Every structure is written in structure tokens, then in C-alpha cells.
Structure 1
Amino acid sequence: MGHQATITGTTRLFVIIGDPIEQVRSPQVFNPLLTGAGRDAVLVPVHVRPGGLAAVIQGFRAMDNLDGIVVTVPHKMAVAHLIDDIGPTGRLVGGVNAVRREPDGRLVGDMFDGQGFLIGLRRAGHDPKGRRALLVGAGGAGSAVGFALAGAGVERLTIVDVDAAKADGLASAVAAAHPQVRVDRGPAVPDGHDLVINATPLGMRPDDPLPLDPARLTPGILVADIIMKPAVTPLLHAAAAQGCIVHPGKAMLDSQVEAIAGFFGIPMP
């Protein structure tokens, strides 16, 4: 990991909260940035189960040396209801993945998943404009990715979620914000699509089922996953075997680090 800053009584804190937490890569990414910027600060993982989330956010409000919170699965939507203010993207999506603690103790959040996903796709040479996208998962990250794809000019967006109300809600909101995009609710079937995104947590645990049947994938479809660990998920393995182009979750994280660092006031090298 390189040189780890010495933690003293003056060290400022950033945290990442999630359930599970072992898979997060933010500490390995942000701590070298903080050290490189000469900041006396560290980012540490905090394992928070949903039942304890409200109490933890209350506790964070009382921690005067806490500067920011990175939010991961499954807390992105729930945290949005527990903070004081939300930026425009977060408000649209209804979720946040970064929260800044202002000097007066107010908690202000915004959502960078969609922007991160889009930048990552483009950096890999994949422009979503004009594509027919199948989005599996309408939670916090899925919502952010859905709005970002619609904003980037996909021709069609099919939204899938095991929770029908979630899929309906996201489809209506994206259609209202981007009337030029054809938005459908659909089954998790890639036929007729040339971009498939897994925005569910399926694939993080070894015994997870696949988010869709890989036998339905045809060569040339771009299959993206937002899961960071494993780096190559079972879905991406199966997609590659079918002759698809695959795009791993790490691309999204790497691309949104800049945006989150800026939001936290951490200069990039």
C-alpha cells in the first residue's frame, strides 16, 4: 500500500460505511491520496448493518474530527433520508455515496456513481450514445447509472429489479427527466440490447446466483459490472466466454475517486 501516514491526536477521519465491508477498495485508493496531499487524515472502513445506520449517522454528527463519509451497499438510499442537504444528482437519484461533514456539523451528500460509471466506460473507449442498455438493479447505484446513461443519450433503457416497485419508480423518474429515451420495464433478458449492466450486489458472494442467464448473451454485447471484488465477477467470466466485451467495476471506482476527492476538498496529484 505504500507509506501509511502516522495517526496522531490531530488526525482527521474519513470513513466508508457498508454491509459487507471487506470488499471495499476506498481505503487503498484514498489513503495514498491523503498522504500525497500532505493531509493529516485517514479513511477507515466501518461495518454498519442497516439496523444500526441511523445511530451511526447520529454518532458521526458528534465526531468533530470527522470530515467525510463514503457510502456503499446497501446504505446509499437510506443515508439520503438521514442527512441535511443533498446535491442535484443525489436528489434526482434519491441516494448518495459521499457525505461531507461541514465545519458547523451539517451533513451534505451527493451521488457520484453514475458519473463515475460513465467516465469509466468512455475511458475504456465505450460511448453509450445510441446504445440499447439493459440495467439490472434499480437501487442506489443502479438509479445513478440509469440517469447517467439516459443523460449520455442511450437510445433505449430497459430497467430490471426483483422489487417491481423500485423498477417502476426508476423507470418513471428517468422517463420524466429524459423524455427522448425509450424507457422500458423488462425481464433480465439481453435480447435486443448491446449494453448490459449488473448494478445488483449479485456476484460479491461466491454462492450468489447470476443476475441474468449468460446463455442469452451474444458476441459483441458490452457487459459491465459495478462490483469491485471479485475484480472479474462470475457474470463477467461467463460473458467473456460468450464472446462479449467485458467492463469491470474497478473502472467506475477509479473514475469517481476524482469527483469524490474534489467533493471532500482533497487535491488529486
Structure 2
Amino acid sequence: MLATTKVYGCIAHPIDHVKAPTLFTSIFNKKKIDAIMIPIHVYPENLENVVNSLKLVRNFHGMTVTIPHKQSISKLCKKLDDDALFTGAVNWIKFDEHRNLIGNNFDGKGFINGFLGQNYILKDKRVCIFGAGGAAVAIAYALTDTNIKSLKIINRNVNKAFHLKEKLTIKHKSLSVDVSNVDNYILDDCDVIINATSLGLRDGDQIPFDVDKTTKNSIIADIIMQPKDTKLLKTAKNLGRSIHYGKYMIESQTDLVGQFLEIW
């Protein structure tokens, strides 16, 4: 590390699940870029103060944003790119020449690229997504550009799910979008089921849905990166379902992030 080293961050709470600092520092090294990424553990109530302080650190150039800060940090941005505008959530920020925040969200495109990169298919598939928060909105938004047959949104807060449906159908009027709550849902009419909630991140979390309700040919995807084998994916694997790991969502964002940060 040199005095000229550019510093990037990964801001989260809790922090022990994040993989981005290891991943991106490794990429910087491989590409011979004089930069590192550090973990930044911040409680929600301190987010604005920390961000304002980071604006003053001239060799700090941006950061990836994860649970629970994605929506809160969007309100601190001077400019939001299209995906961040739609989702109301940000998973990467950088600074302009005046140290104002510019936010973007690559979760949706990252998930799609990662899923297709594992030789799965989305065209004409019936997709179900659990969750209607930051990552779920980003993934749902990206799914509308993949020619899926239909989308089902299942969420604890049904009003939030209906709001997401309304936004999606404005963007893509011909897409069939259904909404269910977590107490009454059907999965045997779905080809791909995605957990886009935070369930599975912490020890003791309940499994987000009943895998027994899925068909044997369905694909079960999780966005949780740590642990790699979540309870959901372990259960799905034991039942003979195809599974998709959460790590691919962030690994497939690297090219997009490099362009956004203008470093490769």
C-alpha cells in the first residue's frame, strides 16, 4: 500500500457477512490498480454522519452499500442513475468533483448476469420473488427486460408488494405480475423462485419459504452470500432442486462497477 492508494469501502450492519472487500481488493491486485476496499461497520443512526465525514477524506473514492443502508443512502445522493431511481435503493456510490454522492444499483443486473452465467434460462420462465425491498425491487426491475413469462411477488407486507407491482406494470405493461402474502402462497406454478429477503443472513433465521411447495424441476436461488449454503439452499439441494448461490450476484457486478467507478 502506498500513500497514493485509493480507498474504497463496503458499508454494512452487521459486517461479518460481507465478501466485497476481499473480492474487490483481489480484483484491484490482479488488475494492478493501486486501490483497496475496506469493511465499514456503521449503525443506521450514524449513517449520515459517517457519509459526511467520508466526503472529507480525499483518497476515499466510493463504496458498495449493503444491508440495511441501501435505501437510506439513496436519500443522501445528489444524483441517482436509472436503476437506483426506480428502486429507491443504492448499492454503489461514488463522488463527483464537488464530493457530492452519485448512486447506482447493480443488484438487479448482477443477479441476472450471474444467473444466466450459470447456464440457467429466464426467457418464458415463471419467476417468483420473495421480498419487496431494496434487492428484490432491483431484481424485479431487471427481470422485466429478460422476457420472462410471468412474475409473482410474495412479501410479508402485501401493500409494499402491490406498490412494486404497480411500478413494474407501468414500465412493462404486458408483463403478468401477481402478488401473494407469506401466509398464503402457491409455488408449484413457478419455474424459478428467488429469495431476495435477508432471511438466512443470521443464525436462527427461519427459512423464507417452504421448498416442499416447489416442483422438482424448479430452480431455487438465494441472494445471501454468507453463509454460502443457506438453510434454504441446503433444504432445496436435499430435495433434489437445482440451486443458485448468492455469491454470483456480486461477482457478476464487477464489470459494471468498474465502468461506474471509471477504474477499468
2:228 aligned partner: 231
Matched AA of 1:230: P
- The one of 241, 250, 255 equivalent to 2:252 is 255
Which secondary structure does the structure 1 equivalent of 2:181 belong to?
Answer: coil
Map 1:5-154 → 2, pairs under 5 A: 6=1, 8-154=2-148
2-side partners of 1:115 and 1:167: how far apart?
20
TM superposition shift of 1:29: 1.0
Q: Are residue 216 (structure 1) and residue 213 (structure 2) matched?
A: yes
Cα displacement (A) at 1:210 = 0.7
Report the Cα offset of residue 229 of structure 1. 0.6
What is the identity, as a one-letter code, of the residue corresponding to 1:13?
A: V
Instruction: State the SS of the aligned residue for 2:189.
Output: coil
Q: CA RMSD in A?
A: 1.3
Q: Is the 8 A contact 1:34 1:266 kept in 2?
A: no
Q: CA deviation at 1:183?
A: 0.8
Structure 1 residue 202 and structure 2 residue 208: aligned? no
Post-superposition CA distance 1:179-205 (Å, at most 9, x none): 111111113431211110000110111
In the alignment, the residues of structure 1 paired with residue 122 and residue 33 of structure 2 have an alpha-carbon distance, to the nearest angstrom, of 37
Distance across 2 between alignment mates of 1:225 and 1:122:
14
Match in the other structure for 1:266: 263
* Separation in structure 2 between the aligned mates of residue 253 and residue 38 of structure 1, nearest angstrom: 21
- Mind listing any 5+ residue stretches in structure 2 that lack a counterpart? none
SS state at 1:263 partner: helix
Instruction: Answer with 32-41 or 89-98: which moved more.
Output: 32-41
- In structure 2, the partner of 1:3 is none
Q: Distance in 1 between matches of 2:72 and 2:160?
A: 14
Q: Structure 1 residue 14: deviation in Å? A: 0.5
1:212-264: CA deviation from partner (whole Å, max 9, x where unpaired): 11221221101100000111111011111222110000111110122112211
Which position in structure 1 is the counterpart of 2:181? 187
Higher mean Cα deviation, 57-66 or 201-210? 57-66
2: CA distance, partners of 1:176 / 1:47: 37
Deviation at 1:100, TM superposition (A): 0.8
Conserved 8 A contact 1:67-1:102: no
What are the Cα deviations for residues 147-203 of structure 1, in whole angstroms up to 9, with x where unaligned? 111221211111122223321221111111111111111134312111100001101
Contact 1:218–1:242 under 8 Å retained in 2:
no
Q: What is the CA–CA distance in structure 2 between the aligned matches of 1:104 and 1:198, rounded to whole Å? A: 38
Q: Percent identity?
A: 33
